[in-house]
């Protein structure tokens, strides 16, 4: 029955939060054991391929290290504190294997060298060249003002404006207008 198809109020208080890997005691608690585990993991072909690919697209080593450590923490392999301690050795090892493969890399530790991403730099990186940007903006504004054609709310030009006589005639104020004689001569 659909009536009972929802959580019982207060069920969250009775749930076993130890179901998450990071809520249980970690598998590795020793620094050296943890670094050994990471080095062994880094030597797996799949992991190596991924790291090489990331470094080749100019990903910083610090970013790669963060991702690998986060993965270990989420799987309950080691604690957050131990992960931070192991970041240095892991980054150093990644640097060594990158040198071995002659891959240029950046540790990503200097904020000064950080490349600020702007719309222009993104366009250049993607090979998008906008020719309209070179036009003088004043000319564009002038064109917009002179080309006032179209639209009900547009400013009327002289050709569109009725003369004063026409306007008076439309309002029924004209006195010069001769009254037309009726065709049947009944008047």
**Measured between alpha carbons, how far is 168 from 175 in angstroms, rounded to an integer?**
9
Residues 56-75 that bind other proteins (CB under 8 A): 61-63, 65-66, 69-70
Give which of 61, 59, 103 is closest to 69, Cα–Cα: 61
Which residue is it, tokens 């054609």?
149
| CB of 49 or CB of 88, closer to other proteins | 88
Binding-residue total with other proteins (CB under 8 A): 28
- Shortest CB 1 distance to other proteins, Å: 45
SS3 of 48-101? HHHHHHHHHCCCCHHHHHHHHHHHHHHCCCCCHHHHHHHHHHHHHHHHHHHHHC
Residue 84 sits in the site that holds other proteins (CB under 8 A) = yes
Residues making up the chain, counted from first to last: 187
**Piece of 99-107, 118-126, 133-141, 169-177 that binds other proteins (CB under 8 A):** 99-107
Identified binder of other proteins from the candidate list 26, 28, 55, 108, rule CB under 8 A: 108
- Shortest CB 9 distance to other proteins, Å: 35
Q: How far is CA 64 from the centre of its chain?
A: 21
Residue 80 sits in the site that holds other proteins (CB under 8 A) = yes
Torsion of CA 79, 84, 88, 90, to 10 degrees: 40
**Measured between alpha carbons, how far is 83 from 89 in angstroms, rounded to an integer?**
11
Contact 54, 101 (CB under 8 A): no
Residues 114-173 that bind other proteins (CB under 8 A): none
| CB of 55 or CB of 61, closer to other proteins | 61
- Shortest CB 63 distance to other proteins, Å: 8
Residue 42 sits in the site that holds other proteins (CB under 8 A) = no
Residues that bind other proteins (CB under 8 A): 31-32, 35-36, 61-63, 65-66, 69-70, 80, 83-85, 87-89, 91-93, 96-97, 99-100, 107-109
């Amino acid at each position: 029955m659909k009536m009972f198809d929802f959580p019982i109020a207060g069920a969250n208080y009775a749930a076993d939060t130890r179901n998450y890997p990071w809520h249980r005691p970690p598998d590795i608690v020793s620094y050296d054991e943890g670094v050994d585990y990471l080095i062994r993991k880094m030597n797996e072909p799949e992991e190596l391929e991924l790291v090489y690919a990331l470094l080749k697209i100019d990903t910083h080593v610090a970013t790669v290290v963060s991702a690998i450590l986060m993965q270990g923490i989420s799987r309950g392999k080691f604690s957050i504190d131990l992960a931070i301690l192991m970041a240095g050795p892991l980054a150093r090892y990644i640097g060594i294997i990158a040198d071995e493969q002659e891959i240029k890399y950046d540790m990503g530790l200097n904020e000064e060298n950080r490349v600020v991403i702007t719309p222009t730099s993104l366009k250049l990186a993607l090979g998008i060249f906008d020719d309209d940007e070179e036009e003088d903006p004043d000319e564009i504004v002038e064109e917009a003002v002179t080309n006032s054609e179209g639209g009900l709310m547009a400013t009327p030009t002289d050709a569109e404006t009725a003369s004063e006589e026409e306007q008076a005639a439309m309002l029924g104020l004209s006195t010069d207008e001769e009254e037309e004689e009726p065709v049947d001569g009944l008047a």
